[in-house]
Amino acid sequence: MPDRPLAPALRPFDAVGGRTIAVVDSLGRFGTFFAEALVALVTPPFKLRAFIDRINFIGYRSLLIIFLTGAFTGMVLGLQIYLTLVRFGSEAFLGPAVALSLIRELGPVLAALMVTGRAGSALTAELGIMRITEQIDALTVMALNPMRYLVAPSILAGLITFPLMTAMFDVVGIFGGYLVGVKLLGLSTGTYFGEMQTFVDLGDIMVGFWKSVSFGVIVTWVCTYKGFNVGHGAEGVARATTQAVVLSSVLILVWDYFLGSILQ
C-alpha cells in the first residue's frame, strides 16, 4: 500500500516517532549483540588461540601507555596534593591521598580511557575492515559463528586485562607519587607508605576492581559492536571508530559515577 503524504502539522511528530523507534531499535540490537557474545563465551568450542591473541592485543601492547600515564598521573597527584596538604601541616597524609585517589577513581578510569584510545579504536577499525571486505560474511557462510571467533574472545580479554592493567597503573602511580613526595619534596618513606597501610583497606581496592572489570566489558562490547555494524567503505570505518571511542569514553565516566555512588 503506498504511503500517504502526512499533513504538515503531523510531520514533527512523525520525525520524533521515527527517531525514537530508531533509538529503541538500536538499543535492542546492542543488547542482543551482547547476549549473543555471552552465549558464544560460555558454550564450547572455546577459541583459546583467539583469546590469547586478544590478551596480547588489548593488554600486553597497552602496557607502555599504562606505565607512562600511570607514572605521570601519580607524580602530578603527589605534587598537587603535597602543595595543598602542606598548607595545613598535613603532608603526612600524602601517601593515602595519592593511593586512594588512584585505587578508587583515577586508576580504573584513566587506564580504561587509555586502553580505549589505543586498543578499543584498533579493535573497531579491525572488525570494521573485516566487515567491509566480507571477511565476517566469509566466516558466517563457513558455518562458523563470528561472535565466537571475534567478539567473545575480546570481551573475555577485556574482563581479564582491564583489572590487571588498572593494578599496574595504580602501582606505578603510587611510585610516581613517592618519587615526587619523598625524593623531591623530602617526605620520609615510612610516612608515605606507613600512612597508606593505615588508611587504604580491601574495600577501596574492591571498588577499583569492580570498576575496572565493568569498564573492560563496556569498552570491548561497544568497540566490537561498532566494528561489527560499520557503514560503507573507509568513511564508515572512520565514523565507527570515532563513535566507538567517544561512546566508550562517555560510558566509562557515566558508569564510574553510578558505580562510585553504589560502592561507597
Partner 1 sequence: MIKVEGLTKSFGRQTVLRNLTLEVATGTITIIIGRSGGGKSVFLKHLIGLLRPDAGRITVDGVEITGLHGRALDEVRRTYGVVFQSGALFDSMSCWDNVAFPLREKVRTPPDELTKRVEAALGQVGLEGVGAKYPAEISGGMRKRVAIARALVTEPEIIFFDEPTTGLDPVLVNTIHHLILGLHRRFRFTAVVVSHEIPEIFEIADTVAMLHEGRIVEIGPPAAIQASANPVVQRFIKGEPDNNS
| Binding residues vs partner 1 (CB under 8 A) | 129, 133-135, 137-138, 140-144
The number of residues making up the chain comes to: 264
Instruction: Find out whether 161 and 59 touch, Cβ atoms under 8 Å.
Output: yes
Q: Return the number of the residue (26 or 84) whose C-beta is nearest partner 1.
A: 26
Q: How far is the CB of 162 from partner 1 (least distance, A)?
A: 24
Q: Return the number of the residue (68 or 144) whose C-beta is nearest partner 1.
A: 144
Q: Return the number of the residue (9 or 141) whose C-beta is nearest partner 1.
A: 141
Q: How far is the CB of 227 from partner 1 (least distance, A)?
A: 14
Taking the C-alpha atoms of residue 68 and residue 111, their distance in angstroms, rounded to an integer, is 11
Taking the C-alpha atoms of residue 143 and residue 120, their distance in angstroms, rounded to an integer, is 27
Residue whose C-alpha is closest to residue 209's, from 254, 176, 165, 174: 165
Residue whose C-alpha is closest to residue 121's, from 205, 51, 65, 39: 65
Q: How far is the CB of 26 from partner 1 (least distance, A)?
A: 17
Q: Return the number of the residue (27 or 144) whose C-beta is nearest partner 1.
A: 144
Taking the C-alpha atoms of residue 22 and residue 28, their distance in angstroms, rounded to an integer, is 10
Indicate the residue type of 87.
Answer: R
Taking the C-alpha atoms of residue 166 and residue 63, their distance in angstroms, rounded to an integer, is 10
Q: How far is the CB of 251 from partner 1 (least distance, A)?
A: 28
Q: How far is the CB of 91 from partner 1 (least distance, A)?
A: 53
Q: Return the number of the residue (129 or 205) whose C-beta is nearest partner 1.
A: 129
